[in-house]
């Protein structure tokens, strides 16, 4: 018998399949399409009771354990019906029963699945009207049509509330005989739209291909629309000049193995840190129950949502607004990471579990990687009197996952350092989304990044959900600013003083950054004072200094992503309230149940169980250098101790010399002879 | 005979000594105290003529070479006089003559030297009044006095314009029998002030040691002022619990050697980059003549200045305002870097030249290190149809130097990547500046970081000087913002559009960041258009989103650091105009000849030889975790191409698998058995 899983273990393959079977039993004779089966994390009250016992060493076989619950999302066509009904259930796996069940209002749409995407592609391919449109383009010989399914942005006021799919259409040069040729270089100016219920193409939107002054109405080219496009490849065997030859190997070796330990597939211990990792289809990797040196810091840490609205004003591009977590579930899009490619050194991979087409659990291998890296100097001091230098390196533990969303990728990493800090990083890379533009034209809403290829301006609004537990679950958020003071004989006689102003957040609300005021956000436990400074123990959050989502306030783009209208949200914790833009984002017209609604509860947030949401919005006006694959654009949220510890927590990091480092020798570096 | 040095080679030891000898010859019978002898970089017109010949392969032995000039700064006591006179000369080394000579107005003060610091310490030690003060403290048995020389902040209105030194005073526990015990834990509340001309202590300022509400006037403790202080060590042999034992080695190995080449000690070539490095006493490492793939990007890149004002309002702490470049010359404070400590991998060290006590050139070994590092993923794309992932690593070339300024250190790095970008990084570390505070007290202007030890709030205003040469020397700066637009049926029918507004800078001026408007700064060559996008070729600057210097506008702190009142300054180039706060900062009352004066020339900056200065100000309100040595606080300026290239310049980086990476094995990672 398998050992009892920790309450924070993701569902195993077996548990997933058991949950599926319980649902099948609950719908005798029905035809069921399973979308998601994943761990429903225990209510916090139950889980913390268990974790408290665990951390205090009181855990025994009789300690009450939260039930193993699965959240199952599925469409069921009941016996005698032909209509699939989307519903969600909570299943007690050991109790073998459904403990909660809900038919989801048709106002909301289930998130997308890969099989649905495949259906869309098939429907397009069979559609005479779609094929007719393609035929009119008279593609160059050897070119094949590629259909890229996309979520159907926000519903327009005129749209009926049905389930739609849209697709961007490209052409691949099959004569290259390489399935990985970059078809994005050849965009076709149509977007087919499918009605899911009837599996038929209901409309084909024709896209304008002009420049700034050519109007927004359709000027679709027919024949020859790709004549001015040129291939732009990224797979090495297709690169015209091949790859550069002068990059010599750089290896990370760890002869004694890594410094971390992973137990039971989800407990990570490293350098006084101890936390758990789970993986789910919506958020990807989730960090739980974070302790440092036995003290609690965070209850849970995960990316919650991302919205990517495009700014091309020509209809129907306002419907290019993906919610990459809510619409599709980025866990489904997690890359299966490969040794020696996605990180260096000694690497531990964790697998995930997804459901296959018939709802059974299936392994998703290597969806998370864990490794250590060196990040330069951690601290240094030289006593100039004696010349003695003491320098320590900054070692980091990285928990990383990578997702591919059609053309684009994100590299997400939680990086723990030795000084009690956590850096949460998002790297945007992949292929920017492009549309066809007429030869010689340019457009204010994008940049021509390749011949005939316009990369549209867009934004990425990320939301990181931080559920703190600073020495306990009752915490208080405040912000702190450093502000100028006038000269005053009593308080500031020489004018060098500035004021450090603290503003506690007393009720749930949304807040903005203010870099010119040096505004930082603190999460403190006001009940526990630092014995050295006398100030409450706390952690500081340094959000990226970005702008907010720019769409007009009465636009659909704006209203379905209300979470992106503040940089910081402070809410009072509720079980299962994890999603910044609400549970249902697909085809939404307005954010419902997201942070913008949560704060309306006006709950007190002083020494309460609070949650902090950090939204940062990368405005991406593409450069030519972003084509055909963009170099990473890096955003970082830093979460680090502020009077939490009694001294630099990394003061005991060894300053020993790294014996493997070497002097560059004469082969590369001739210091005797000038080149001139 | 030594080969003719490149015009951008720093002075050799021989050249330095030759320049000194020429000065000695020019002052027969005088007593000369040499402060600085360093390369005076050639006028740009002369140098670019030479560099153009070099880059186009037209360089011959008859190509005109700029004269090798030394800038010599020295005090001379002429025969028959007793008064040292500070003066500066330009010396033509090969021509063996002084080509320019200037007696410096006594309004200005020469920058500090280590021998002066030593003199100050000796004068204190011999001073009866100083010794009497120390005696009154009745130091604990075995404690020795440590004198930490500091520049004498800005002169008060009441101060005579003489050359002063001040010192912070600490006590070291000699019973530990370790010269590297952390004496900063034991601050004594006096500041002695020396008049340099007479070498005597003219005053001892007594420091208040109370809390917020205890007034600003002196409440100096006499006996027992250290009784509540406790040692807090950082050298490993003095750490109470020793160093942590669970950190296993992480090595960077480069079996085929590094990918860079260094020729003639200052030409660096790596991954299509080509540039030169020099080292001087004021700015440390300087990057020159930066090209990528044969195209010019920058003429010169260096840190220009840093001002560190302290915000404790109690006199005389307003005089704690160091100008770390102008006051002392941080090149003099550069660490001699050690293999396996300051970077990993295969490392090339460059030496510098400084002048010794009698003015002769002397080697400063290993003041710059050059190495490669891995910085995660550079770009990645997975074709989700085929599963084929192409991922390249982000290799960086790092040119690093580290300075120690009494208690504090800075790690400066110029990091070049493979995608045409340069990241300029400053890491602040070392020991925060502290003063004594009474037991049980706290103060609004700082934080108690150790028993009896108040770390005062302060700021670090860095200025990076960027002298661009984007495809030539005629460049134009603009800023670009992404701004919301209202819904409008003609221009923005669905409200998803935003405006990208470009504002060219037409005359020299100071500008601020505006992160909420997404403001970025571009340097473009308007005469050269990108063939793909049709836009001018350019580079973008992403400054750190910091506040400005906070001191009150009529304070001395504010006025001597006017450069810190804007984030970006755009000036028209003039030869030898390198210093953001002016040539002379020591004891200044007001910035003279700095960027705030340069912009007043109101020069046209459209397609001119422009210089861009980026000022970023780290507000440091210390945390307990910053004690006794602070973990690095990292600031980065990113300079990267924006429609400069015709595609991603790193698209040809090999995506080959790193064969040295390994799977974590069962020793660390038991995935079979849960711990619980």
What's the confidence (pLDDT) of residue B52? 97
A214 is catalytic: no
**Is residue A364 a contact partner of residue A334, using CB atoms and an 8 Å limit?**
yes
Q: pLDDT for A392-404, tens place per residue?
A: 999 999 999 999 9
Chain B contact set for A644 (CB, 8 A): 624-625
Walking along chain B (676 residues) 10 residues at a time, the average pLDDT comes out as 83 97 97 95 98 95 95 96 96 97 96 92 97 95 96 86 96 96 98 96 95 81 89 96 95 96 92 97 96 98 97 96 86 82 92 90 94 97 94 97 93 98 98 96 97 98 98 98 97 97 98 98 98 98 98 97 98 98 96 98 98 98 98 98 98 93 81 42
Task: Measure CA A37 to chain center.
Answer: 20
Could you give the CA distance from residue A547 to residue B517 in angstroms, rounded to a whole number? 6
**Is residue A479 a contact partner of residue A522, using CB atoms and an 8 Å limit?**
yes
Which B residues 120-149 touch A at CB under 8 Å?
none
What's the confidence (pLDDT) of residue B585? 96
| Nearest by CB: B673 against A3, A248, A652 | A3
Q: How many CB atoms lie within 10 A of CB B85?
A: 14
**Is residue A96 a contact partner of residue A23, using CB atoms and an 8 Å limit?**
no
Could you give the CA distance from residue B654 to residue B652 in angstroms, rounded to a whole number? 6
Question: Is the pLDDT score of A415 beyond 50?
Answer: yes
User: Given an 8 Å threshold on Cβ–Cβ distance, is A259 in contact with B267?
Assistant: no
List where CATH 2.70.98.20 sits in chain B: 261-642
Question: Is the pLDDT score of A157 beyond 90?
Answer: no
Could you give the CA distance from residue A528 to residue A505 in angstroms, rounded to a whole number? 18
Largest CA distance in chain B: 89
Domain B114-238 grouped into CATH 3.10.450.40? yes
Q: pLDDT for A613-644, tens place per residue?
A: 999 999 999 999 999 999 999 999 999 999 99
User: Given an 8 Å threshold on Cβ–Cβ distance, is B59 in contact with A532?
Assistant: no
In words, the CATH class of domain A13-103 is: alpha beta
| Nearest by CB: B533 against A252, A624, A667 | A624
* Partners of residue B492 on adjacent β-strands: B488
CATH (one of 3.10.20.340, 2.70.98.20, 1.10.3720.10, 2.60.40.1930) for A261-485+497-642: 2.70.98.20
Q: Which of B173, B289, B312, B324 is catalytic?
A: B324
**Is residue B120 a contact partner of residue B142, using CB atoms and an 8 Å limit?**
no
Q: What is the enclosing helix (H) or strand (E) of A52? A: helix A44-55
**Residue B230 C-alpha, separation from nearest chain A C-alpha, in angstroms:** 11
Could you give the CA distance from residue B308 to residue A496 in angstroms, rounded to a whole number? 11
- Please check whether residue A636 touches B, CB under 8 A: no
Pairing status of strand A190-195 against strand A164-173: antiparallel
**Is residue A371 a contact partner of residue A258, using CB atoms and an 8 Å limit?**
yes
- Please check whether residue B64 touches A, CB under 8 A: no
Which B residues 269-328 touch A at CB under 8 Å?
271-272, 309-313, 315, 317-318, 321
- Please check whether residue A424 touches B, CB under 8 A: no
The chain B residue lying nearest A265, using CA atoms, is: B671
- Please check whether residue A516 touches B, CB under 8 A: yes
Report the SS3 class of residue A193. Answer: strand
Which among B6, B400, B397, B348 is positioned nearest to A670, based on CA atoms? Answer: B348
Chain A contact set for B144 (CB, 8 A): none
Domain B261-642 grouped into CATH 3.90.660.20? no
List where CATH 3.10.450.40 sits in chain A: 13-103, 114-238
A498 is catalytic: no
| Nearest by CB: B547 against A345, A491, A516 | A516
**Residue B467 C-alpha, separation from nearest chain A C-alpha, in angstroms:** 22
Which B residues 69-98 touch A at CB under 8 Å?
none
Report the SS3 class of residue B622. Answer: coil
Confidence label for A672 from pLDDT (cuts 50, 70 and 90): very low
Average the pLDDT over A115-137 and give the result: 95
- Please check whether residue A1 touches B, CB under 8 A: no
Q: How many CB atoms lie within 10 A of CB A416?
A: 25
Question: Is the pLDDT score of A646 beyond 70?
Answer: yes
More confident: A220 or A202: A202
Q: How many CB atoms lie within 10 A of CB B89?
A: 22
* Partners of residue A461 on adjacent β-strands: A307, A617
Q: Per-residue DSSP letters for A7-49? A: TTSPPPHHHHHHHHHHHHHHSTT-EEEEEEEEEEPPPHHHHHH
What's the confidence (pLDDT) of residue B372? 97
- Please check whether residue A648 touches B, CB under 8 A: yes
Which B residues 557-596 touch A at CB under 8 Å?
557-558
**Is residue B324 a contact partner of residue B330, using CB atoms and an 8 Å limit?**
yes
Which among B371, B413, B424 is positioned nearest to B395, based on CA atoms? Answer: B371
| pTM value surpassing 0.90 | yes
Task: Count CA atoms within 13 Å of residue B235 on its CB side.
Answer: 17
Angle at A636 between CA A635 and CA A639, to 5 degrees: 160
Could you give the CA distance from residue A539 to residue B536 in angstroms, rounded to a whole number? 45
Could you give the CA distance from residue B356 to residue B337 in angstroms, rounded to a whole number? 20
* Partners of residue A353 on adjacent β-strands: A363
Could you give the CA distance from residue A591 to residue A307 in angstroms, rounded to a whole number? 11
Torsional sign, CA B307, B312, B314, B316: negative
Average the pLDDT over A31-52 and give the result: 96
Chain A contact set for B631 (CB, 8 A): 378-379, 394, 417, 419, 421, 648, 650
Side-by-side strand order, sheet with A434-436: A434-436, A453-456, A446-450
Between A90-94, A426-430, A661-665, the lowest mean confidence (pLDDT) is in A661-665
Residues 6 or more apart from A217 whose CB is under 8 A from it? A208
Angle at A447 between CA A442 and CA A449, to 5 degrees: 105
Q: What is the enclosing helix (H) or strand (E) of A307? A: strand A295-309
Token pair listed for A9 = 């273990």
What's the confidence (pLDDT) of residue A673? 41
Q: pLDDT for A481-501, tens place per residue?
A: 999 999 999 999 999 999 999
Could you give the CA distance from residue B110 to residue B125 in angstroms, rounded to a whole number? 24
Could you give the CA distance from residue B40 to residue A260 in angstroms, rounded to a whole number? 52
């Amino acid at each position: 018998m398998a050992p009892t899983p920790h309450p924070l273990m993701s569902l195993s393959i077996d548990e997933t399949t058991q949950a599926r079977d319980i649902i099948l039993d609950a719908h005798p004779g029905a035809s069921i399409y399973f979308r998601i089966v994943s761990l429903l994390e225990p209510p916090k009250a139950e889980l913390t009771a268990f974790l408290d016992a665990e951390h205090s060493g009181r855990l025994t076989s009789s300690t009450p354990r939260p039930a193993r619950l699965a959240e199952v999302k599925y469409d069921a066509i009941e016996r005698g019906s032909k209509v699939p009904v989307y519903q969600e259930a909570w299943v007690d796996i050991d109790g073998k029963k459904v403990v909660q069940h809900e038919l989801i209002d048709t106002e909301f749409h289930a998130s997308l699945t890969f099989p649905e995407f495949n259906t869309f592609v098939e429907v397009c391919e069979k559609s005479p009207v779609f094929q007719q449109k393609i035929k009119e383009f008279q593609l160059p010989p050897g070119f094949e049509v590629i259909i890229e399914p996309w979520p159907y942005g926000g519903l327009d006021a005129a749209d009926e509330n049905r389930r739609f799919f849209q697709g961007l259409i490209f052409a691949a040069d099959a004569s290259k005989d390489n399935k990985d040729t970059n078809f994005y270089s050849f965009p076709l100016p149509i977007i087919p739209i499918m009605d899911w219920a009837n599996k038929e193409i209901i409309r084909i939107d024709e896209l304008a291909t002009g420049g700034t002054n050519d109007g927004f109405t359709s000027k679709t080219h027919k024949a020859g629309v790709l004549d001015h496009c040129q291939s732009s490849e990224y797979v090495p065997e297709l690169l015209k000049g091949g790859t550069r030859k002068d990059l010599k190997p750089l290896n990370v070796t760890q002869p004694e193995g890594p410094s971390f330990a992973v137990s039971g597939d989800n407990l990570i211990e490293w350098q006084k840190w101890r936390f758990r990792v789970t993986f789910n289809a919506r958020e990807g990797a989730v960090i739980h129950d974070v302790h440092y040196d036995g003290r609690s810091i965070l209850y849970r840490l995960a990316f919650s949502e991302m919205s990517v609205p495009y700014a091309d004003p020509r209809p129907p591009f306002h419907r290019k607004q993906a919610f990459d977590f809510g619409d599709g579930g980025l866990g489904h899009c997690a890359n299966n990471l490969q040794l020696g490619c996605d990180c260096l050194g000694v690497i531990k991979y964790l697998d995930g579990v997804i459901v296959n087409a018939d709802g059974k659990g299936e392994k998703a291998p290597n969806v998370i990687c864990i490794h250590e890296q060196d990040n330069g100097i951690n601290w240094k001091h030289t006593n100039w009197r004696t010349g003695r230098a003491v320098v320590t390196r900054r070692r980091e533990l990285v928990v990383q996952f990578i997702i591919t969303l059609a053309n684009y990728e994100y590299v997400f990493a939680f990086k723990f350092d030795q000084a009690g800090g956590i850096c949460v990083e998002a790297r945007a890379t992949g292929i920017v989304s492009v549309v066809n533009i007429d030869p010689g034209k340019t457009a204010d809403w994008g940049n021509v990044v390749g011949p005939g290829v316009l990369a549209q301006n867009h934004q990425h609004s990320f939301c990181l959900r931080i559920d703190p537990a600073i020495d306990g679950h009752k915490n208080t958020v405040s912000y702190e600013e450093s502000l100028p003071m006038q000269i005053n004989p009593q308080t500031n006689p020489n004018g060098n003083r500035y004021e450090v102003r603290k503003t506690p957040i007393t009720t749930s609300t949304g807040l903005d950054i203010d870099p010119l005021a040096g505004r930082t956000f603190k999460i403190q436990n006001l009940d526990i004072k630092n014995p050295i400074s006398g100030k409450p123990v706390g952690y500081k959050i340094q959000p990226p200094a970005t702008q907010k989502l720019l769409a007009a306030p009465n636009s659909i783009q704006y209203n379905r992503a209300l979470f992106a209208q503040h940089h910081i949200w402070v809410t009072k914790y509720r079980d299962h309230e994890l999603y910044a833009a609400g549970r249902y984002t697909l085809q939404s017209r307005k954010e419902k149940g997201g942070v913008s609604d949560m704060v309306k509860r006006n709950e007190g947030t002083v020494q309460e169980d609070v949650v902090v949401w950090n939204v940062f919005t990368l405005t991406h006006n593409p450069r030519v250098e972003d084509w055909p694959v963009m170099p990473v654009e890096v955003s970082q949220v830093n979460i680090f101790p502020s009077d939490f510890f009694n001294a630099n927590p990394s003061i005991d990091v060894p300053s020993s010399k790294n014996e493997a480092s070497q002097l560059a020798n004469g082969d590369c570096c001739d210091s005797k002879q000038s080149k001139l």
